Structures are given as structure tokens and as C-alpha cells.
Amino acid sequence: MKPEALLCPKCHQTLMTPQIVRQHVKIATTAQHHITIHQVDCPKCNEKYGLIFIADRKKYLVVLVGPERLRDEVTAISQQMLGGGKIAQLWQTLNKNHIKAAVLGKRGTCRHSWKFRQLHPLGFIQLVCPKCGGQREEALTAVNLVRFVLRPYSEGDEIIKRQKDIIESAILPRKHEIIAEAAKELDRRLKMNERRRLQLKTLRKFCNTAALVT
């Protein structure tokens, strides 16, 4: 299920199209505490709303409040989320006296296309999905450098300047060393897989033998 249009609770005029809601959900997913705030006026009845977007990988929640209540509601929601609350639980426990409306929705699944974002000084690679805004981290290994950095770079993928500067200054000078180390690691993994296949074949043969003698 993809995000639907957000309607004015008073006159049912469209406040945000599904495309705009989707963009705000993406922004909330990557924001601090997964919460963002906005303000919007209804183009038909001129009612003013404060909007709070809360999102995770599976669900999103849009809370409409009066502008004067926006900061207080954001504080209360942030405290609940930091305390380990879930979006579905938050939707059930919202103070209905203070909000205009609350819209709970499910996010469409995304087949992530992970792109290199930056090198972290603590020793991992930060990746981002340009489709949904999701983030993940991978260990800073030679294999991951080849997979997520050198391969896209050599294949001509569009890379923003800041990322390109990191690649060209910190990674390309060590390119041959990284590729050689990655090749050794991949060869080791292939041999391990071959040994696993042989172990499984031996175990399967034992199952046939055991069935005959018992």
C-alpha cells in the first residue's frame, strides 16, 4: 500500500497529493528520531494545520493539529518514540482532544538500490537507498569497497561531487591494493562454499546409507 492523499478534516479538500505525502514520508524516515513538522493552509476553507510526520520502514503516521499545539504535540510524540514506542501504539494512544486528525498508513515495499554515501571514521561505509531514503551500514572491507564504491565508479554511475572527492582522494590511490585484497577474500569464500557443498553431499550420502542399514 502506498501513501494516499492527505485531506482536510473540515472540508475534505486535498492538502497534499500522494506524491507529496510520499516525499515527506521519505524525509521523515531519514530525519532525527524519524519525525518532521510542517504547516499547511487548506486552499478551500483556509483552515491552518500543523503536520507531524512519523515514519519507519513499514508504517507512517501523519498527525494534524492546530498550529498552536504543534510544538507541544511534537515534544510528547518524541518522548514516546524515544521511550521505545511503536507507530501503531502511538496512533492508538494519541490524545484525541488535541488533534484534528491522525492518518496511519503502510509504506510500499522498496527493492533497495544501495548507493555509497560516505566513509565513517569508525570503520564502516554508510549507504543510502535513493528510492526510499533508507540507510544502512556495511563494514569497511575490501569486498565492500569494490562492491559499493569502485564498481559503481568504474561503471560510470552518477556520483555527487562530495562522494566523488572522497573516492578519488581516499580510495583510488589504493585501488590496486583494495582489488587484490578483495580478490583473495572472494576466492576464500568460494572455496568455503565448495567445502560446504562437499559436506552436504557427504551428509546426504550418509542419509541414504543409514536408511539401508537400519
Same domain as 134, residue 185: yes
Same domain as 102, residue 26: yes
Same domain as 10, residue 102: yes
The count of structural domains within the chain is 2
Same domain as 177, residue 101: no
Same domain as 188, residue 97: no
Same domain as 41, residue 24: yes
Same domain as 133, residue 93: no
Same domain as 194, residue 124: yes
Q: What is the mean pLDDT of residues 83-109?
A: 74
Share of the chain above pLDDT 70, in %: 93
Same domain as 199, residue 143: yes
Q: Which of 106, 141, 157 is at the close of a domain?
A: 106
pLDDT in tens, 103-113: 888 776 677 88
Same domain as 160, residue 85: no
Distance CA 135, CA 145 (A): 17
SS3 state at 52: strand
SS3 state at 62: strand
Report the pLDDT value the prediction gives residue 213, as an integer from 0 to 100.
Answer: 55
Report the pLDDT value the prediction gives residue 204, as an integer from 0 to 100.
Answer: 81
pLDDT at 183 over 90: yes
For 112-123, b/e burial (b = at least 16 CB within 10 A) is eebbbbebeeee
Has this prediction a pTM greater than 0.75?
no
Report the pLDDT value the prediction gives residue 98, as an integer from 0 to 100.
Answer: 65
Query: Is residue 41 domain-resident?
Result: yes
Cell of 38: 510542517
Report the pLDDT value the prediction gives residue 180, as an integer from 0 to 100.
Answer: 93
**142 Cα distance to chain centroid:** 24
pLDDT at 19 over 70: yes
pLDDT in tens, 132-170: 777 889 999 999 999 999 999 888 888 888 889 989 998
Q: Which of 106, 124, 147 is at the close of a domain?
A: 106
Query: Is residue 179 domain-resident?
Result: yes
Same domain as 16, residue 68: yes
Query: Is residue 211 domain-resident?
Result: no
pLDDT at 14 over 70: yes
Q: Which of 106, 130, 146 is at the close of a domain?
A: 106
Q: Can you list the alpha helix ranges (DSSP code H) found in the chain?
A: 18-30, 70-82, 87-93, 142-145, 151-154, 161-166, 175-213
Q: Which amino acid is at 147?
A: R
Same domain as 188, residue 158: yes
Query: Is residue 14 domain-resident?
Result: yes
Give the domain extent around 66: 6-106
Residue 152: phi, psi to the nearest 5?
Answer: -60, -40
More confident residue, 43 or 109: 43
Strand order in the sheet with 124-128: 115-120, 124-128, 135-139
CB 140 within 8 A of CB 125: yes
